[in-house]
Every structure is written in structure tokens, then in C-alpha cells.
Structure 1
Amino acid sequence: MAPAYGEEKGTGPLSPLDPASKADTDVFQEQPGHDFHYKTLSWQFVSLLMIAEIVSNGMLSLPSALAVVGIVPALILIIFFGVFALYTAKLLIDFKLNHAGVHNMGDAGYVLGGPILRETLSIGTIIFAIFGTGSELLSGQQALSTLSNNGLCSIYLLLIFSMATLLVALPRTLDRVGWLGLFSVCLIAVSGVVAMIGAGVNPVPGRVLDATIPTTFYQAFLAITNPVFAYAGQLAFFIIISEMKHPEDAMKAAWCLQGFSTLFYTIFAVVIYVYIGNTVASPALLSLPPAWAKASFGIALGNFLIAGGLYSHTAAKIIFVRLFRHTEHMYTHTVLGWVVWIVLCFGAVAIAFILAIAVPIFSYLIGIAASLFASWYTYGIAGFFWMHDSYHLKGGWPGIRGRPGQCVLAVLTILAGAFICVAGTYVSVKLIAQAYSEGLVGRPFSC
């Protein structure tokens, strides 16, 4: 009998349900004759892709956090969560290096707790990626509406931006969008600089600035969610690292990501707040004079597009790898492989588009999705990764007890993820109720 696809060099045909394919065998089996080569990314391009996905529309809400709790607490939070995200990134990367077959959060869940946890984390990742796509679509629509002076129905603008997002998502391997990552990073950086210049030359007269502002738990945590979710996006770390030539260099990319994002977030939030004051809107660009808002939105438009493409690519790649792991459809041009891939990418963007136009509270639901999933994928679950590998790879409970400092940090990470999840969901639900009571919720399929 001829060997099954992937048996070259003794790899053997590995089922997506085989524990060995999850933990021990690299998710991508590179062979010279393959049409698709996945393990091609350098750590420099990985850092660009991570920045392109994470440093996007989330930064536009940061100045409003300063307007709620004051400049000092908000800056402490921005810097703290940047450092926290770097720490959890290290735990995620260490887990990936210890389990080469982990391609996404679902695979990691299989290692941690078997099939049920795998399905839970897989579904959660796909949902969050689709909601992330929808968030970028709304930002793109908002940018196009600003640029056109609302000259076209927002549904049509959203459709146009969705079609462009689909095109960005379609390349099968991430190296095809690596240079787009560089372009995206440049765009969001220049957009932020233009916004800061616009605020600086047009300061709000009589603006009010506060070092600290007494507030309620609800308002304070609402402000906290801005920096918390501005760093969200580590759900794609496993997927991106899986396509690196040298996954052991992933921590270099994480340092670049968190160093750039924390510094950029801090400068952007402070400058915008100092010149606009407590009346700053969310997104902050809406507080600029029309010409400056158009310039900044127009430049950032490309970043929203690329980030949306990466989110929808992530959702499609999870299902595609699950269906075709270690089969010919992963590595060669087959009709079935291409049809399934295009359908998955189209489905991810289409679902995000439909949610954005059909669900009037979709922008609020994004907050719930971020609370339920990003709180764990970016923060809490990393503590479980450390616990698992310390127990199984370091000699059981003695391996955990022998590193008390790291154990305490891992437990605190788990508790922090749980707190952000519960409190963030509470705040998001209360926001929805408040929006309905104040008549702020529009109608589905309306311009």
C-alpha cells in the first residue's frame, strides 16, 4: 500500500484528533515538493503582523479612559497592562515551544483538558476573531463615512470595506501578507501622529484636565476595559508562531509588539487628552476638526483593512487546519482545498458584515465578546499553561512548589483573567441596558 500523505520521512498520517498531532509533531510538515510553505516568517515580520492586528482601532478609545479616571490612573493602567501582556505572551510562547503541534487555542485546550476544552476554546477563538473582524469593519465604515461626509448609506460603505477585507484575508500563508503588516504599522503610526498634530494645533478652549477623578466602580471599570482590550489579540499568537522559520525567536517579536504598543498608546493617549480634555470622544478622532479627522481616518483606513483581514484569516485558518491537518489539501493546489478556504474566508467576513448591519447593539456585543474571550486568551489562560507544563515537564507538584514566585504569578494571572471576564461582561451588559433606556440603539439595516 502506498504511504498516506505526510508519511514521508516517517512522520505518519496524523489525525487531527490524534494527541501526538496536537503536542509532539509540528503542525506543518515542510517538504520541498509542497506548493504551500507555511514556515517562512522571520521574527521581524511576525512582530509587524502582531502590531498590525493589535495596535489598531483599540487605541482610539484610550484618551477617553483618561477623561473618566484621570491621567495618572489611566497611564498606570496602560503601562501595567502592557507589561502584563508581555508576561502572558512569554507564557504562551513557552507553551507553544513545548508543544509544537499546537496551532491555535483549541489545540492548546486539547493539551490542557481534552476534547471538550478543545471545542470550547476553538469556538471561542472563532467567535472572537469574527467579532474582531466586525469591529474593524465598523471602524472602516466610520472612516469612509467621515471621508465622504456621509455621502453614501453606511450599509454600502460597510459592504465595500467588507469586500476589500475579504481580499486581504485570502492568501493561504501569512508570508503573503507580511509586507502588508509593515504597511499597516506605518499607517497606524502616521495616523496617530497626524491626530496628535491636529489636536495640538486646535486645542479645545477652556478644556478641563484632571490628574485623578473620583468615580464609581462601573465607570472606572468601563475606562479600564479600554487599555485592557487595546492589548487583546493574543488569540492569534499560536497561529502566527506556527508559521515562523524559527519559533524560538517569537519572544523577540513579543518584545517589539509590547514595547511599541505601550509607548505609542501612552504618548497618543496623553497628547490627545492634554489638548482636548475631558470632552474627548471615543473614538478620539471624532474630537478633531473635520479636516484633521478626515486626514487621520483616511491614513488609518489601510490599518483597519489589514487588521480585519488578519482576524478573518485567523477564523478561517483554525477551521481549515482542523479539517485538513497533515493532508495534501494543506500543501498542494487542490480544488477542494481552495474551495473550502475561499468559503471559510468569505463566511468569516460575511458573518461579521451581517452582524454589523443586522444587530443594532453589535458594537456593544463586541465588548461582551472581548470580556468573555480576550480576558482569557490575552491574560488568564496563560497561568494555566504555566501550571500544566510545570506539572508535566518539571516533575509534578514538586516542579510547581520549587518555583513559588512563578507559581504565585501564574495564579494571580488566572484570577486577573477571571475578574476581567466577569467585571467586563457586567459592564458591557449594563452599557446595553443603558443604551436602550436612553434611546441610543438604532434599527437593523438602517443607514
Structure 2
Amino acid sequence: MASQLFDDEKRPHDPAQVNELGTDASSTEVLNALMTEDHQHDIKLRTMTWQKAAWLLAGDQVCLAIMAQSWSLSVLGWVPGIITMVLSGILFWITSITMHKYIMKNPQIRDICDFGYYIFGKSKVAYIFSGFMLLANNILLIGFHILTGAKVLDTLSDHSLCTVAFSAIVMIMGIVLSAPRTLQHISFMSIFSSACMGIAILLFLIFAGIEKAPLYGYNGDYPTDGLVHTYAFPLPGTTWVNCMNAVLNITFLWVPQILFPTFISEMEHPQDFPKSLAVLVAISTILFIVPPAIGFHYVGQYATAPAFGSLGVVAYKKASFGFVIVPTLIIGVIYANVTAKFIYWQLLGKSRHVHSNTFIGWGVWGVVMVGIWVLGFIFSEVVPSMGDFLSLLSAAFDSFFGFIFFAVAYWHLYNGKLFDGAFRSMMTLIHVFVMACGLFLLGPGLYAAVEAIIADYSGSVSPAFSCASLGI
């Protein structure tokens, strides 16, 4: 079956050809053929169990961004903040299930670019556009993780080296850890990543609870902005741009689906992905809401992003923030792997090197991976406000990868029966809301992100490749 469906000149992962190869075959036959073909190679990609996929998902999601959610609550207040978090979680679950169902009907999809290609009518323009967004999003995120790693080392060492040197060290460590070509190997690293981030969060909560007062907030040192307090709604004077950026900060945490098609394509049984997703949702629901809420309770209006910066005792700050170096590196490795695979398949997708232990195969993989991390390093040094640019990414790219893509996929899945019964009608209305959310992020959300960048640029801007300390 595999040889009949997919010959060597028409690789199943070429989005311009795969549909024609599978026109007379069911999705199950295509999936079985893909699995059979993959297991004949030296380097087997489709090997992850659903448990290992769950580790990988947790490794990607249990990240430093959790520690920025207390700041989002300090901007939005309890009511809008918690509503945004819960709603983001619900939409994340629903859209991820929609994505999985669509991929199960088109199992030849191997990344978000293939996904965009199919849902927009096998459009090469959509494929190229998705590829551009994938590269821009992931490489900038790798740059952010390099910058975060430098921030951790700066904090722990009291700025014993130039920050550029610390960034270079993190980049080199990332390149070394990115050597594996399969996500199964990286899923093992994700266990340690999640554990270290969990320890960092727990230590922060303990230290925030036992110390007398926070150190400082964005409005001054404690108690410049008064005693610590919390509030149900945004404080008077809070701008719409700040509120929108706080919302983007929350949605950014809940929208990792840009990686999911690649994860699914490397599972031994892709139909089991909902099990992995359920584990992730359970973990995320707890970690994305409870620690930020406790942090907001203890540091109130003094919350910073990340919240470690609010701790009043320097030793507490170092003890908790230090563990973040592990998830910072591993999450960068996950994004680098997905990015490298996209480039790698464009270069070698039709050759034997892509699945074999050849000098050319490993050489190209190494060059691509080094190039990705070096680009990330450059962006980390030349972008003055990486946080603002992440808000820009959230508005520009997450609007597609977290909302619009899956509303369109849902329409393809149920076109002609969108209102067959109460449940289907409800799900259709939910996906209409998903589309509206995506368009809102792409419009007003993008405007707010750009306004924040303009405001930052109007003040002092850090020079490129600065040695200045990034320590919190």
C-alpha cells in the first residue's frame, strides 16, 4: 500500500502533491501508508506514544509566561482577568480538538503550513504565508528565550559578564541540545523542563507568601504605590492599550497550536492526541490560573512580568528564578526543532538524506539548526523591547494560528450540516465566536501592540548588543 500511494518522487509531505496521491484512499489507509513508509527509514519520526506527546506538550506550555499572568491580573483586575483566562482555556480545548479532527481527515499534514495550505483550498499562497509566519514567530520566540536565559544568568551572577556573552552562552547551549532530529528524544527533556518550571513557580509562591512586602512594581518601589491590594476591575487611569496588552499576554500563553500539527505527525498513533491534550489542559488549567492568582494576591499592583521581579528579598529572587534556565532552553529547543524541520523538508524533502544517517543529512540539519539559533541570537540583541514584540506576534500570528485557522477548518469539517441538531448548532456558534476573536486580535489587538511599541520607542531605547545588565 505504501509503495502504491507514495513513490520516491512524490513525497507524502509535499503539500502540492499529497492530495492527488490520496484521492482514492481513505484517511486511515493514508495514515497506515505514512506509518509503514516512516518505519522503513533509518530515522523514524512517527514513534511518540501519547504519553510522550503529553510530556512534550507540557514541556512547551509550562513556561516562564505563566509568571507574567499576575501582571495581567494587576492590569485587568480579578473579574476581567479570570474570565479571560477561563475563556482562553475553553477556546484552546475546542480549537485544538477541531485541529485534530481535521488532521485525522488529512493525515498527510505534517506542520501548520500544510494545515494552512489545505484549509484555504490548497493555496500555495496560504502555504508560503503560513511558512513566513511560522519562521518569524518561532525564530523571534527563540530570540526571546535566549534573552530570558541571559536575564537568568545576569540575575544569578550579579552581572559578572557582559549580557551579550551570556546570550551567546545560552545560544551555544541551545544548539547543542537541539541536535536530536526526533521529537521523541526532546519529549524526554521536557520532563525536566516542566519539573524545573514547577519548582520555580512553587518557590515564588512560598517566598511571596512569607516575605513582608514586595520589592517594587512598575509604579515605583514599595510602598510608593500604597500598600499591596487587589481589585475586581482595572484601576482608574488604566489605558485601553494596557488592558489589550494584558489580554494578549494571556492569549499568548494559551495559543501554542502552531506546533501541534508537527507533534501529531510524529505520534505513533495520532488518533490518541486528545489523550495528550487532556493531560495538558488539566495541567494548564491549574498552572495558568492558580499561581497567577496567588501571586496577584501577595504582590497586587506591584506585580511585574515575570513576577519574580516583585520579590523583595534578593536571595528569594535568585533561588526561584534560577530554575527557569532549564525550561528556557528546552522550550527554545522545541521551537527550533519544529522550525528546522520545516526548512529541512524544503531543502531535502524528496531525498533519502531526510530519513537517513548520512553525512549530508546530518550536515544540513546542523547548518540549519545553527542558522536558526544565530538568527534568534541576533534578534535578541537588536530588538529593543522583546516583550512588546511578543505582543505584536500574539496579535499578528496567534490570531491565525489560535483562532482563524480553526474556524475555517471547522467550516470544512461540517459544511452542509453546521446546524444539524442542538449540539452542532452550539459548536458552530462557538466557532463563529472563535473567528470573531481572531479578527479582533488581528484588528484592535494589533493596533494596541503597535501603540505599545511606539510608546516604548518614544523613550530611551537600549542599543543593539548592549552589555547592560538584564538582571531582575
TM-score by length of 2: 0.88
Secondary structure of residue in 1 paired with 2:417: helix
Q: How far 1:7 sits from its partner (Å)?
A: 6.7
Amino acid at match of 1:290: V
1:330 to 354, 373, 379: 354
Q: Which residue of structure 1 aligns with residue 275 of structure 2?
A: 252
- CA distance in 1 between counterparts of 2:188 and 2:303 reads 34
Moved more, 13-22 or 241-250: 13-22
How far did residue 65 of structure 1 move?
A: 1.1
Identify the match of residue 61 of structure 2 among 40, 51, 54: 54
2:50 is matched with which residue?
A: 43
Q: Is 1:12 paired with 2:7?
A: yes
Which amino acid in the other structure matches residue 174 of structure 2? T
Report SS of the residue matched to 2:268.
coil
Taking the TM superposition and a 5 Å limit, the aligned residue runs for 1:99-114 are: 99-113=106-120, 114=123
CA contact (8 A) 1:95 1:389 kept: yes
Counterpart of 1:235 in structure 2 is: 258
Cα distance in 1 for partners of 2:104, 2:462 equals 47
| Residue of structure 2 in register with 1:420 after alignment | 441
Residue among 442, 453, 456 paired with 1:432: 453
* 1:78–1:227 contact (8 Å) kept in structure 2: yes
1:201 aligned to 2:196?
no
* Corresponding position of 1:222: 245
Do the aligned partners of 1:184 and 1:306 also contact (CA within 8 Å) in 2?
Answer: yes
Structure 1 vs Structure 2: percent identity of aligned residues?
25
Give the Cα–Cα distance (whole angstroms) in 1 for the partners of residues 207 and 86 of structure 2. 25
Residue of structure 1 equivalent to 2:148:
139
**Structure 1 spans left out of the alignment, 5+ residues:** 1-5, 392-397
**Separation in 2, partners of 1:281, 1:424:** 21
Between 1:156-165 and 1:406-415, the stretch displaced more is 406-415
Letter in 1 for 2:17: D
- In structure 2, the partner of 1:349 is 373
The answer for the alignment partner of 1:274 in structure 2 is 297
**CA–CA distance in structure 2, aligned partners of residues 99 and 420 of structure 1:** 28
Task: Say yes or no: does 1:444 pair with 2:464.
Answer: yes
Counterpart for residue 165 of structure 2: 156
Q: 1:347-375 deviations in whole A, cap 9, x for unaligned?
A: 11111100111232344222212211122
Does the 8 Å CA contact 2:384/2:464 hold for their aligned counterparts?
A: yes
Task: For residues 370-409 of structure 1, give each alpha carbon's deviation from its aligned partner in whole angstroms, at most 9, with x where no partner exists.
Answer: 2111222122211111112223xxxxxx333434322222
Is contact 2:251-2:394 (8 Å) kept? no
Matched with 1:3 is none
Summarize deviations over 1:153-172 as a string: whole Å, max 9, x none: 11000000011111222211
What is the CA–CA distance in structure 2 between the aligned matches of 1:22 and 1:96, rounded to whole Å? 16
Q: Report how far residue 266 of structure 1 moved.
A: 1.1
Q: Deviations over 1:225-282 (max 9, x none)?
A: 1211111211000001111111111011111112211211211111111111111111
Give CA deviations for 1:127-166 in whole Å, capped at 9, x if unaligned.
1111111121111111111001111111000000011111
CA distance, structure 1, for counterparts of residue 72 and residue 347 of structure 2: 42
User: In 2, distance between residues paired with 1:39 and 1:21?
Assistant: 22
What is the one-letter code of the residue matched to 2:256? G
Unaligned runs of 5+ in 2: 215-226, 468-472
Per the TM alignment, residue 179 of structure 1 is displaced from its structure 2 partner at its CA by 1.2
Question: What are the Cα deviations for residues 60-85 of structure 1, in whole angstroms up to 9, with x where unaligned?
Answer: 21001111121232122112211111
Q: 3-state DSSP class of the match of 1:234?
A: coil
Shift of residue 28, structure 1, vs aligned partner? 5.9
TM-score (norm 1): 0.92
Q: Could you tell me which amino acid in structure 1 is paired with residue 425 of structure 2?
A: P
Distance 1:359 1:22 in 2: 44
Residue 437 of structure 1 deviates from its aligned partner by 2.1
In the alignment, the residues of structure 2 paired with residue 140 and residue 22 of structure 1 have an alpha-carbon distance, to the nearest angstrom, of 45
State the secondary structure of the residue aligned to 1:235: coil
> What secondary structure is seen at the aligned counterpart in 2 of 1:399?
coil
Q: Give the counterpart letter for 2:378 in structure 1.
A: I
- Counterpart pick for 2:231 among 210, 213, 236: 210
Worse overlay, 41-50 or 31-40? 31-40
Look up the equivalent residue of 1:77 and give its one-letter code.
T
The amino acid of 1:150's aligned partner reads H
Partner of 2:105: 98
Identify the match of residue 399 of structure 1 among 406, 417, 435: 417
- Paired AA for residue 123 in structure 1: F
Give the match's secondary structure for 1:90.
helix
Alignment partner of 1:241: what SS?
A: helix
The SS at the match of 1:152 is: coil
Q: 1:283 aligned to 2:306? A: yes
Q: Distance in 2 between matches of 1:51 and 1:210?
A: 31
Contact 1:125 1:315 in 2 (8 A): yes
Contact kept? 1:54, 1:232, Cα under 8 Å: no
Q: Residue 321 of structure 1 corresponds to which residue in structure 2?
A: 345
Other-structure match for 1:394: none
> Following TM superposition, by how much is the alpha carbon of 1:32 offset from its aligned partner in structure 2, in angstroms?
5.1
Q: Say whether residues 1:129 and 2:138 are aligned partners.
A: yes
